[in-house]
């Protein structure tokens, strides 16, 4: 085990050699490296870290906590900040140690972290801290997570301007290796200059994993720098001298920044590359953008040798503020033009102009605009090699000669109109299964809700809320809007993490302004958007209510999924009641009617974090599971509307669209049971049946060839392990002695949206960007075929280069949960689209989810089936041994994932080795109980029906006999065959209309009343499914809402166990009473409507048949009308509403049908 664990320990402890480490984790190692370097110099130092989580640094606090023992042993202390501003102030305090009596250390180096909005709110703290200076053996690194492409932020960001405004020199690492190297220099620069060092860490670096060659960093060079005629020695004070606040201004604004540039020059942090001699044009970039620039130049045919030949000089900046004037002028010498390639505003470009302005011979400086004044380098979004190539290709061709460039790059080809042939289905972010926000963010009809920072911001994708504010501003905007609007009230969603961070001030502001608003504090006990951490500075719900009452909130209510967890005597604020979440609507209406500021505290734990805790045994895992009897289900979507849960999945069956519970992803929230439908069953598992066995894999031959290097693109669904796959393969590269750079582009996609990962494996160093460029993918691993067909992903593929391995499994989108009209494009169409953009001859397609479910009883191993197939297809420059060892290091489901990987390999070697798993079984058609099955079947055989029509009838005619009697089946068959005869007489091809009538007349005739629900719940096939899934002896409870309970006002379902079965048998036996005067249920409005629908539909079909006599050209319109009853879904009020929609649409289409009749038919 120690051998396996060593690569994981090496990440932080290996002194010399190669490690695999991520951008965020590298910051942890950086702290340790700094402490070790100080120890080598004989210094007794310590470290202090504080900040506030936020993408792309959302997981840093988790890494610090996981490595707390190692950090603590090295004197490094981590204190999470309640917010960024207070964390910055705490880090400032670490520099005061030398001014305090009894210091334990010679200095404390400090690290502050936060994303771009945290910089904005912390500027005052930064300025004060920087004014006072840093400790000579301490120093501070201010690490900023910048999100230029706005992948997981409300606004795109570039913080260098703000950091400069706070008097900081700013370093920009290009890679994970740079984080370690420049991070060390950042601390030393801070010590030397006396200023905090800004450290701009963009998303594509923070989210990267790389193999990095590490060795002890040489001691830094401290230059002989003088300022104002004296050797440099920064002023360090314990506080602001209020008698003379300007005495330090010159040093802060000039001296310290000049000291930083002197340090940069002495240590060679900025590098000139490319043409060393005569050059005509210079290109400047910093950090990751520089790597993207080099990638772009390589694609244009300008490698190192070509740069020298063509006179192209490059400046790779590490320090972007202030610009090192000496290095800039050295770079500019002899150049005619300089182009600065940078994201967002002209920050470096402006400094270049300033530095070169007084030169007698100076080059022209371009950037955001080119020589003609037109836009050149884009200011929006992020800059990758594709965008840089498009920006620079024309200018470089003009200056160097087009004949000297390779201008065949895909991004330079004329764009073609993007035609979406696959409909509008898209993989968008969505709440996790069982997420409290699925229910907590719903407001009463007629109410308005506002969003905020946190997972609940995804309500904006579902049209459930209006815009958002900065973190902590939630609700304050209503103070300014309410006096000028006729809208009398607003619900404001406010996450618990945001409330403790700064949102409580917004509540105080609303109270002060006496605004009519209800704050919905969504208490989830986890900051789930960044990984499920505890909310720093948090309090329990009872304490929150007391705090709010003290602030003057008019009324406070608590709603919880389990009110019983609060014992009698809980110290709530006066007047607070705890209600069940089922009362949410009523509670919200009460608060809405209360003048002033009210608060609803919705208490339910984060579903994702609860799932993690259950796996670790930290909280009980409920045994009860939910199952849907698909035969009873109408596919109406009401359970999806009530629960908004991704585990409530639509499934296509012989009897149309139904709903099933994804048992792998279900988080046992049970909200779906509230759907107005008798199909729900809760199950307590029994003795687990033996898992389905994976066939014997046997010996596996190695691939015929493996590439030496590969750029791999991985696409899937957030939360399903795509990032894990990428990290496993990157670790395998390390174990094989290769270099790799992995980049995970997730953002909100981690919440069920499309996630994209890039992996670049080779023998060279990692000094290249992590992103696969246009047409650059050698291998395309598609874990979700819908995400795999998106234009941005396919743009990275090329038919002559890219080989794809595609999982054809169908996974519903979030929209499909609540919209019964939404559907996925056909799987074959998705695969065909991918094949059109890749090497179709090498494409491998397999149903990874189906295979994993079949072999392992869950879908969690599906991704490694795909990886195994990719390996065996010769797409990965890795050994199988390294991949399997990396899986062992990952430590999750090791045996199952290794077997899945091997199974994927076997499928490529022998495609017929495992038969393709059958689709989910259709809702069963229970056989008749009285021996009428054979008679019903003979009726179909005697009817003369053939093809698809015969198949449909062979299923439905016997089922109608079982539903009631043979006479009903005969009437049904006769009606269908009359249509078939009319089609034949009209000369129509096939039996499309007859088949449509067969499906839809059956649907109307076999309406699900009390007798039918009872019959379907007694179906032996249901019992078989329960036993297969949940084991022998599993007990079931039927979740029903009988009409008698409805009549007396009980609006919730009751659970009936085995005692329900005698009642079901009695009801099944009474089915012959259906429609007779003796039918005890037949007089209700819904039953009368169901019978009326049958007779009305038969009349409509007769009219359609008559219209066909005018010619077969009317067949399409007739089929559309005949298929309309598929709209009629659900039970009770849901069905009534759908019937109304059906009748309205039927009226519209019939009016068109009648208007189009030929004169001869009138």
The position carrying tokens 């191993």 is 861
Predicted confidence band of residue 1143 (pLDDT cuts 50, 70, 90): very high
**Is 916 a residue whose pLDDT tops 70?**
no
Tell me the pLDDT band of 354, cut-offs 50, 70 and 90. Answer: very high
Distance of alpha carbon 62 from alpha carbon 64, whole angstroms: 5
Phi–psi pair at 140, nearest 5 degrees = -135, 135
153 compared with 918, residue with greater pLDDT: 153
Query: pLDDT band at residue 923, thresholds of 50, 70 and 90?
Result: very low
Question: Rounded mean pLDDT of 954-966?
Answer: 95
Count how many Cα atoms sit within 13 Å of the Cα of residue 368 in the half-sphere of its side chain: 12
Class of domain 437-605: alpha beta
Compute the mean pLDDT over every residue in the chain, rounded to the nearest whole number.
91
Reply yes or no on whether the pLDDT at 266 is more than 70: yes
- Range of lowest pLDDT (34-38, 352-356, 909-913, 1086-1090): 909-913
Q: Identify the CATH number of the domain defined by range 710-909.
A: 3.40.920.10
pLDDT in tens, 117-126: 999 999 999 9
Structure tokens belonging to residue 692: 């389905």
Mean pLDDT (whole number) for 354-372? 95
What is the mean pLDDT of the segment spanning 755-773? 87
Return the ∠ at Cα 322 (arms to 348 and 81), rounded to 5°.
100
Rounded Cα gap, residues 310 and 297, in angstroms: 12
- Beta-carbon contacts of 508 under 8 Å, excluding residues fewer than 6 positions away, are 551
Fold of 272-412: Rossmann fold (3.40.50)
Task: HSE, CB side, 13 Å, CA atoms: give it for residue 422.
Answer: 21
Side by side, the strands of the sheet bearing 625-628 are: 625-628, 680-684, 1035-1040, 1054-1056
Q: Are 108 and 129 in contact (CB under 8 A)?
A: no
Instruction: Give the model's pLDDT for residue 298.
Output: 96
Report the greatest alpha carbon distance in the chain: 111
- The angle, 0 to 180 degrees and rounded to 10, between the axes of the packed helices 848-856 and 862-872 is 120
Question: Position of tokens 């997972």?
Answer: 455
Q: What are the residues whose beta carbons fall under 8 Å from the beta carbon of 1158, sequence distance 6 or more? A: 1110, 1111
| Fold match between domain 17-264 and domain 272-412 | yes
Tell whether the model's pLDDT for residue 505 goes beyond 80.
yes
CATH of the domain spanning 17-264, picked from 3.20.20.10, 1.20.1530.20, 3.40.50.970, 3.30.360.10: 3.40.50.970
Query: Is pLDDT at 307 greater than 70 in this prediction?
Result: yes
Q: Is the pLDDT of residue 447 over 50?
A: yes
pLDDT score at 749: 44
Domain residue extents for the chain: 17-264, 272-412, 437-605, 710-909, 933-1009+1074-1154
Higher pLDDT pick, 634 / 687? 634
Taking the C-alpha atoms of residue 168 and residue 180, their distance in angstroms, rounded to an integer, is 20
Query: Among 216-230, 422-436, 652-666, 785-799, which is the least confidently predicted range?
Result: 422-436
Range with lowest mean pLDDT among 700-709, 793-802, 916-925: 916-925
User: Are 1015 and 961 contacting, i.e. CB atoms less than 8 angstroms apart?
Assistant: no
pLDDT tens digits, residue range 825-849?
A: 999 999 999 999 999 999 999 999 9
Q: What is the pLDDT of residues 35-86, one digit of tens each?
A: 999 999 999 999 999 999 888 898 899 999 999 999 999 999 999 999 999 9
| Band of pLDDT at residue 418, cut at 50, 70 and 90 | low
229: region left, alpha or beta (phi > 0 left; psi from -120 to 50 alpha) = left
Q: What pTM does this model have? A: 0.91
Q: Is the peptide bond before 1113 cis (omega within 30 degrees of 0)?
A: no
DSSP 961-1009: HHHT-HHHHHHHHHHHHHHHHHHHHHT-STTHHHHHHHHHHHHHHT---
Contact predicate 601/541, CB 8 Å: yes
pLDDT single digits (tens) 664-720:
999 999 999 999 999 999 999 998 755 567 888 989 999 988 899 999 999 999 888
Calculated CA dihedral for residues 847, 852, 858, 859, nearest 10 degrees = -50
Confidence of residue 1006 (pLDDT cuts 50, 70, 90): very high
| pLDDT value of position 927 | 54
- Whether the predicted pLDDT of 528 surpasses 60: no
Q: 3-class SS at 521?
A: strand
**Which distant-in-sequence residues (6+ apart) come within 8 Å of 909 by Cβ?**
700, 701, 872
Q: Considering the chain, what percentage of its residues have pLDDT values greater than 90?
A: 77
On the question of pLDDT at 766 being above 70, the answer is no
């Amino acid at each position: 085990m120690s051998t396996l664990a060593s690569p994981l320990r090496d990440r932080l402890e290996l002194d010399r050699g190669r490690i695999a480490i991520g951008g965020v984790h590298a910051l942890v190692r950086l702290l340790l490296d700094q402490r070790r370097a100080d120890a080598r110099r004989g210094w007794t130092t310590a470290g202090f870290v504080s900040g506030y989580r936020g993408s792309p640094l959302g997981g840093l606090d988790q890494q610090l906590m996981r490595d707390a023992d190692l950090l603590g042993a090295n004197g490094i202390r981590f204190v999470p900040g309640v917010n960024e501003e207070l964390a910055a102030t705490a880090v400032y305090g670490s520099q005061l140690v030398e001014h305090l009596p009894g210091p334990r250390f010679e200095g404390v180096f400090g690290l502050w972290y936060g994303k771009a909005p945290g910089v904005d709110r912390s500027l005052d703290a930064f300025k004060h801290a920087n004014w006072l200076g840093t400790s000579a053996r301490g120093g501070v690194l201010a690490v900023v997570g910048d999100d230029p492409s706005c992948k997981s932020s409300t606004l795109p960001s570039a913080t260098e301007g703000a950091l400069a405004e706070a008097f900081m020199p700013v370093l920009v690492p290009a890679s994970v290796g740079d984080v370690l190297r420049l991070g060390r220099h950042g601390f030393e620069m801070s010590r030397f200059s006396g200023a905090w060092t800004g450290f701009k860490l963009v998303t594509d670096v923070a989210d990267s994993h790389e193999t990095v060659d590490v060795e002890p960093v040489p001691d830094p060079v401290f230059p002989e720098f003088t300022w104002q005629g004296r050797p440099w020695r920064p002023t360090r004070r314990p506080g602001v001298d209020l008698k003379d606040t300007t005495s330090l201004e010159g040093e802060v604004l000039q001296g310290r920044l000049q000291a930083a540039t002197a340090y940069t020059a002495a240590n060679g942090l900025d590098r000139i590359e490319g043409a060393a001699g005569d050059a005509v044009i210079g290109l400047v970039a910093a950090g990751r953008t520089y790597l993207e620039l080099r990638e772009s130049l390589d694609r244009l045919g300008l490698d190192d040798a070509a740069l020298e030949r063509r006179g192209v000089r490059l400046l790779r900046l590490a320090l972007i503020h202030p610009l090192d004037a000496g290095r800039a002028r050295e770079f500019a010498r002899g150049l005619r033009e300089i182009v600065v390639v940078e994201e967002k505003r002209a920050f470096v470009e402006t400094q270049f102009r300033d530095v070169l302005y007084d030169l007698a011979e100076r080059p022209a400086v371009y950037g955001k605009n080119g020589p003609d004044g037109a836009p050149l380098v884009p200011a929006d979004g992020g800059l990758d090699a594709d965008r840089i190539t498009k920006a620079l290709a024309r200018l470089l061709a003009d200056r160097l000669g087009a004949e000297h460039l390779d201008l065949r790059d895909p991004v330079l080809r004329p764009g073609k109109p993007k035609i979406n042939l696959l409909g509008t289905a898209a993989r968008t972010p969505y709440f996790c299964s069982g997420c409290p926000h699925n229910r907590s963010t719903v407001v009463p009809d007629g109410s308005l809700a506002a969003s905020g920072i946190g997972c609940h911001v995804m309500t904006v994708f579902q049209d459930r809320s209006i815009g958002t504010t900065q973190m902590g501003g939630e609700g304050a905007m209503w103070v300014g809007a309410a006096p000028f609007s006729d809208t009398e009230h607003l619900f404001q969603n406010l996450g618990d993490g945001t409330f403790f961070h700064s949102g409580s001030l917004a509540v105080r502001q609303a109270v002060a302004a006496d605004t009519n608003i209800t704050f919905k504090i969504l208490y989830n006990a986890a900051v789930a958007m960044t990984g499920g951490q505890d909310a720093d500075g948090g309090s329990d719900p009872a304490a929150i209510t007391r705090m709010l009452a003290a602030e003057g909130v008019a009324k406070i209510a608590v709603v919880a999924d389990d009110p019983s967890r609060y014992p009698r005597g809980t110290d709530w604020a006066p007047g607070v009641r705890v209600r069940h979440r089922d009362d949410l609507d009523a509670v919200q209406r009460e608060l809405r009617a209360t003048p002033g500021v009210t608060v609803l505290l919705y208490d339910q734990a984060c579903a994702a974090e609860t799932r993690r805790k259950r796996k670790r045994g930290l909280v009980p895992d409920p045994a009860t599971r939910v199952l849907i009897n698909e035969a009873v289900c109408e596919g109406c979507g009401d359970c999806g509307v009530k629960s908004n849960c991704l585990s409530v999945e639509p499934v296509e069956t012989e009897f149309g669209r139904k709903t099933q519970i994804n048992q792998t992803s279900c988080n046992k929230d049970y909200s779906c049971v509230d759907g107005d439908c008798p199909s729900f069953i809760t199950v307590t598992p029994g003795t687990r049946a033996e898992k389905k066995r994976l066939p014997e894999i046997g010996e596996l031959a190695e691939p015929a060839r493996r590439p030496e290097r590969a750029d791999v693109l991985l696409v899937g669904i957030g939360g399903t392990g795509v990032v894990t796959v990428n990290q496993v393969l990157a670790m395998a590269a390390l174990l094989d002695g290769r270099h790799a750079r992995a980049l995970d582009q997730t953002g909100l996609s981690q919440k069920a949206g499309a996630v994209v990962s890039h992996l670049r494996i080779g023998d060279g160093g990692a000094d290249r960007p992590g992103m696969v460029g246009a047409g650059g993918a050698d291998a395309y691993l598609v874990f979700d075929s819908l995400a795999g067909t998106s234009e941005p992903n396919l743009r990275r593929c090329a038919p002559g280069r890219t080989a794809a391995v595609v999982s054809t499994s169908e996974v519903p989108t979030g929209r499909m949960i609540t919209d019964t009209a939404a559907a996925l494009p056909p799987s074959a169409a998705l695969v065909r689209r991918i094949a059109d953009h890749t090497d179709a001859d090498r494409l491998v397609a397999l149903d990874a989810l189906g295979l994993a479910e079949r072999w392992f009883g869950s879908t969690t191993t599906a991704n490694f089936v795909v990886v195994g197939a990719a390996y065996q297809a010769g797409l990965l420059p890795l050994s199988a041994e390294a991949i399997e060892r990396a899986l062992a290091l990952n430590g999750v489901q090791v045996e199952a994932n290794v077997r899945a990987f091997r199974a994927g390999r076997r499928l490529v070697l022998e495609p017929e080795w495992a038969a393709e798993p059958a689709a989910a079984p259709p809702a069963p058609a229970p056989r008749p109980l009285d021996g009428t099955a054979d008679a019903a079947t003979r009726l179909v055989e005697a009817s003369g029906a053939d093809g698809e029509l015969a198949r449909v009838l062979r299923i439905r005619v016997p089922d109608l006999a079982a539903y009631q009697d043979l006479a009903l089946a005969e009437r049904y068959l006769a009606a269908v065959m009359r249509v078939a005869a009319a089609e034949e007489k009209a000369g129509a091809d096939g039996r499309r209309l007859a088949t449509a009538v067969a499906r839809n007349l059956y649907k109307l005739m076999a309406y699900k009343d009390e007798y039918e629900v009872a019959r379907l719940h007694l179906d032996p096939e249901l019992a078989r499914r329960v036993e297969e899934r949940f084991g022998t002896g599993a007990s079931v409870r039927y979740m029903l809402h009988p009409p008698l309970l409805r009549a007396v006002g009980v609006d919730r379902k009751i659970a009936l166990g085995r005692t329900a079965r005698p009642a079901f048998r009695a009801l099944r036996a009474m089915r012959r009473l259906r429609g007779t005067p003796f039918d005890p249920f037949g007089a209700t409005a819904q039953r009368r409507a169901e019978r009326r629908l049958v007779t009305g539909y038969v009349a409509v079909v007769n009219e359609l048949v008559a219209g066909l006599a005018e010619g077969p050209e009317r067949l399409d319109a007739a089929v559309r009308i005949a298929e309309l009853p598929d709209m009629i879904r659900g039970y009770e009020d849901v069905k009534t509403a759908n019937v109304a929609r059906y009748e309205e649409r039927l009226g519209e289409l019939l009016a068109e049908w009648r208007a189009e009749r030929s004169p001869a038919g009138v």
